[in-house]
Amino acid sequence: MNMYLTKSRYLTGQHCSKKLWLSTHRYELGEYVKSFAATIGDEVGIGATTNYPNGKMIQASYKEHEAAVKETLELINDDQTGAIFEAAFEHDDIRIRVDIFERLGDNKWGIREVKSSKLVKNHFYHDIGIQYYVLVGLGYDIASAKLIHTNSNYILKEKEIDWGNFFSAVEYLPDIKESLPEIKNELLRLRKIQHDTKEPFIYPSQGYCKGCEFWDYCTKDKPSDWVEHLPRLSPKKRNELQELKIENIAKIPEGFSLTNNQSKIVNATKTGEVFCDDSFSSEIKKYNPPAYYFDFETLSCAIPIFRGLKPFERVPFQWSLHHLSVEGKTQHWEFLAREKTDFRREMIESFINIVHPNQDKIIVYNASFEKSVLKEMGVLYPDLQDKINNIIERIEDLMAFIQKNFYHPQFNGSFSLKKVLPALLPHEEKYSEGEVSHGGEAQAQFYNIICDKYDQNKKAMARGDLIAYCKKDTHSLILIYQHLLRNY
């Protein structure tokens, strides 16, 4: 068993001791899916290396650490190498790869940690600190330790990214030197956890465990009506329920203090019956046809995709629009950007041209998202602002209606479209049956299409998947509305 620490295990252990233990002893239990943000992070990392023309990349992979250390030493001994990318080191049973190990002259070196993030986050400091500990332990004279992160003022002006201006840097060396005793103590604590033969006990919870690869393992014994499914469960309430040893929503005792929404969920779970508020029948009328059903897809990533964009600037690249007439006739329109140019005006105008001529209401699911995207378009195109404001005023939120007036026990505490649709209409095709099953995948597919990561065939297929995914969202709104109207 590999009991060494790595940079990622060190950071993991700082957040959750159980995660550190599992990643050391039961790595195979994790579900490792590379996120879109991580893929973009790799591209940003490669971009950063272009700022070091005399740099060389270590060829040995992460799994070939010893070979990577050997390669690193060879490049350190080569004066012509100005920087080593993915430099590998090992000291005190800690293995690290340094994004950029820069030769500064006079036998001094610099650590360059590259992040595709515009924020200087606190954990980056530990990220660099552990590298400093290893390198100083090996006897290197570290004269600088910088976080290289995305410059939030950068604007793409040419076709290609100007990597020289894309980054900002923050010097961490004085802080790290001062905190070396803290890092050493942390190492002792983490090693103790790692070497323990027993798996630590940590109670999983939605917020704390967000994105953890061991989520399925840690929650495998939880009941289907697990109390963690209650929305906005406060830490205080969570602790109280744990003290009472209550894991099932159905077992929460009468009189236990909850929000109205939580109480509604508890009652529906206990009785197995749908909750329908008294105002259901009057309020659903707001959603009666004629109406449009609308959904945006947006991309937000560190690498701007066309001139004029900043890193992480949100770009709506797709919409789907259905219309349902009083007679029950449906029509559908869609937009999906094709070119890596600023398509936003075409995108918003094509939408306005369909919905502006009449004043039918526009139904969305989670209005704050669509409204905020529309507001951004209004700021970008002041000449369209009046029409955009008119559209915003016509928006009705089907999710808000359901949250207030309705609950089905099979929502399992969630009001997301991906939970609501199968609970109400179990025979409808599930989102997971398509290639794109959530917004994150939609972003990744669009990025891959627009940035030519796919060949023509794959592009055509990915475009088809995106169109089907967004269309399914707006069609689902019609189905949900009709189902609610007919059955409750």
Toward ligand SF4, which CB reaches closer, 16 or 111?
Answer: 16
Toward ligand SF4, which CB reaches closer, 164 or 211?
Answer: 211
CB of 218 to ligand SF4, least distance (A): 3
Beta carbons within 10 angstroms of residue 185's beta carbon: 11
Toward ligand SF4, which CB reaches closer, 14 or 144?
Answer: 14
Which amino acid is present at 398?
L
Question: Binding of ligand SF4 at residue 19 (CB under 6 A)?
Answer: yes
CB of 65 to ligand SF4, least distance (A): 24
Toward ligand SF4, which CB reaches closer, 16 or 284?
Answer: 16
CB of 364 to ligand SF4, least distance (A): 33
Contact indicator for 111, 101 with CB cutoff of 8 Å: yes
Which of 104, 183, 193, 202 binds ligand SF4 (CB under 6 A)? It is 202
Kindly determine how many residues on this chain lie close enough to bind ligand SF4 according to the rule CB under 6 A. Answer: 12
Please identify which residue in the block is written with the tokens 């002792």: 188
Toward ligand SF4, which CB reaches closer, 27 or 208?
Answer: 208
Name every residue whose Cβ is closer than 8 Å to that of residue 128 and which is 6 or more positions away in sequence.
111, 113, 145, 146, 147, 172, 176
Toward ligand SF4, which CB reaches closer, 196 or 429?
Answer: 196
Stretch of 51-59, 126-134, 204-212, 304-312 contacting ligand SF4, by CB under 6 A: 204-212
Question: Binding of ligand SF4 at residue 470 (CB under 6 A)?
Answer: no
Stretch of 137-145, 202-210, 295-303, 468-476 contacting ligand SF4, by CB under 6 A: 202-210
Pairing of strands 108-115, 141-150: parallel
Q: Rounded to an integer, what distance in angstroms lies between the CA atom of residue 486 and that of residue 474?
A: 19
Please identify which residue in the block is written with the tokens 């026990």: 409
CB of 223 to ligand SF4, least distance (A): 17
CB of 207 to ligand SF4, least distance (A): 10
**What is the dihedral angle through the alpha carbons of 338, 344, 349, 351, rounded to the nearest 10 degrees?**
70
Q: How far is CA 23 from CA 10, 181, 189, in A?
A: 11, 25, 16
Toward ligand SF4, which CB reaches closer, 29 or 479?
Answer: 29
Stretch of 49-57, 140-148, 210-218, 411-419 contacting ligand SF4, by CB under 6 A: 210-218
* Site residues (CB under 6 A) for ligand SF4, limited to 21-50: 22
CB of 329 to ligand SF4, least distance (A): 48
Please identify which residue in the block is written with the tokens 């309430």: 237
Contact indicator for 344, 316 with CB cutoff of 8 Å: yes
Question: Binding of ligand SF4 at residue 237 (CB under 6 A)?
Answer: no
CB of 214 to ligand SF4, least distance (A): 4
Reported as type and span, the H/E element at residue 362 is strand 361-364
CB of 182 to ligand SF4, least distance (A): 22
CB of 189 to ligand SF4, least distance (A): 16
Contact indicator for 312, 306 with CB cutoff of 8 Å: no
Which of 67, 163, 170, 204 binds ligand SF4 (CB under 6 A)? It is 204
Q: Any idea what the Cα angle at residue 260 is, between residues 256 and 262, rounded to 5°?
A: 65
Q: Rounded to an integer, what distance in angstroms lies between the CA atom of residue 464 and that of residue 36?
A: 20
Single out the residue of 393, 331, 318 nearest to residue 362, CA to CA.
393
Stretch of 176-184, 212-220, 328-336, 337-345 contacting ligand SF4, by CB under 6 A: 212-220
Which of 215, 280, 306, 454 binds ligand SF4 (CB under 6 A)? It is 215
Please identify which residue in the block is written with the tokens 């993030």: 117
Which of 212, 377, 391, 450 binds ligand SF4 (CB under 6 A)? It is 212
Single out the residue of 125, 130, 128 nearest to residue 110, CA to CA.
128
Maximum CA pair distance of the chain?
Answer: 81
Single out the residue of 13, 312, 309 nearest to residue 185, CA to CA.
13
Which of 5, 9, 16, 374 binds ligand SF4 (CB under 6 A)? It is 16
Stretch of 11-19, 65-73, 299-307, 379-387 contacting ligand SF4, by CB under 6 A: 11-19
Contact indicator for 114, 271 with CB cutoff of 8 Å: no
CB of 35 to ligand SF4, least distance (A): 16
- Measured in residues, the chain has a length of 488
CB of 199 to ligand SF4, least distance (A): 9
Q: How far is CA 484 from CA 186, 361, 424, in A?
A: 55, 18, 8
User: Chain-centre distance of CA 441, in angstroms?
Assistant: 10
Q: Which parts of this chain interact with ligand SF4 (CB under 6 A)?
A: 16, 18-19, 22, 202, 204, 208-209, 212, 214-215, 218
